[in-house]
Amino acid sequence: MSVKFVVGYDGSQASEGAIRFAIAQAKSCNAVLVVAHVLEWSPYSFLTPTEIEERHKRRNEELKRAEQALIGPLIAKIKSEHAEVESVIRYGNIVDTLMSISADCGADQIFIGRTGHSSLSTRVFGSVAGSLAQHADVPVTIVP
């Protein structure tokens, strides 16, 4: 079985850095790269009736936008220099979802940028990279 690396990508500069670093690592040991994009989502948030009605439509639009604007071009770019690459787009809590993606594909390592699109709450409650390092079952490389 080949080695698998999961890289968290959200379009931020730090995640670009994580991608570059992961490609370099993957090349050296011929690993498969799994680019993971997580759309922040909580099933316990509150929606208005109109939002509920349009949710499925919006979800399709969001997935399409993430695929076309973010992940599609990135995968094409990576393929030009490193053939072995896959992508996953999922909804959920970023840390939990990255861990479940890595568990699902049997990843050997997770790469993540140190600061993604951080908000005030991440400053208060801790960053994605920090929580991931604490909770993941596989080694986590935090790229500055």
Partner 1 sequence: MQTIRKAALGAAALVLSAGPTVAQSIDEQVNALFSSSTGWFVSLIFSPFPGTSFPWIVAWLVVAATIFTVYFGVIQFRAFGHAISLVKGDYSDPNDAGEVSHFQALATALSGTVGLGNIAGVAVAVGIGGPGATFWMILAGLMGMASKFTECTLGVKYRNEYADGTVSGGPMYYITKGFAERGVPGGKILAVLFAIFCILGALGGGNMFQANQAHQQIAGIVGDYPGWITGIIFAGVVFAVIIGGLQSIASVTEKVVPFMGILYVLAALVIILMNVDKVGWAFGQIFEGAFTGLGIAGGFVGALIQGFKRAAFSNEAGVGSAAIAHSAVRTKEPITEGVVSLLEPFIDTVVICTMTALVIIITQQLVIDPATGNYLVENGSIVTASGASGVGLTSAAFGSAFSWFPYVLAVAVILFAFSTMISWSYYGLKAWTYLFGEGKSKEIVFKVIFCIFVVIGAAANLGPVIDFSDAAIFAMAVVNIIGLYVLMPVVKREMISYMERLKSGEIRKFKSH
Whether 35 contacts 89, CB under 8 Å:
no
1 is a contact residue toward partner 1 (CB under 8 A): no
Residue among 1, 2, 28, 48 that touches partner 1 (CB under 8 A): 48
121 makes contact with partner 1 (CB under 8 A): no
**Residues numbered 65-94 forming contacts with partner 1, rule: CB under 8 A:** 90-92
Paired strand residues for 38: 90
Residue of the chain from 47, 69, 76, 103 that contacts partner 1 (CB under 8 A): 47
Indicate the residue among 97 and 131 with the shorter CB distance to partner 1. Answer: 97
For partner 1, how many residues bind (rule: CB under 8 A)? 26
d(CA 7, CA 41): 19
**Shortest CB 70 distance to partner 1, Å:** 16
Specify the residue, 59 or 79, whose C-beta has the smaller distance to partner 1: 59
Q: What is the DSSP string of 6-31?
A: EEE--SSHHHHHHHHHHHHHHHHHTP
Among 2, 50, 80, 121, binds partner 1 (CB under 8 A): 50
Residue from 2, 43, 80, 124 in contact with partner 1 (CB under 8 A): 43
Cα torsion angle, 32, 16, 90, 59, sign: negative
Q: How many alpha carbons fall within 13 Å on the CB side of residue 101? A: 29
Burial environment of residue 17 by CB neighbours within 10 A (0 to 12, 13 to 18, 19 or more): middle
Where along the sequence are the contacts to partner 1 (CB under 8 A)? Answer: 39, 41, 43-57, 59-60, 62-63, 90-92, 97, 100
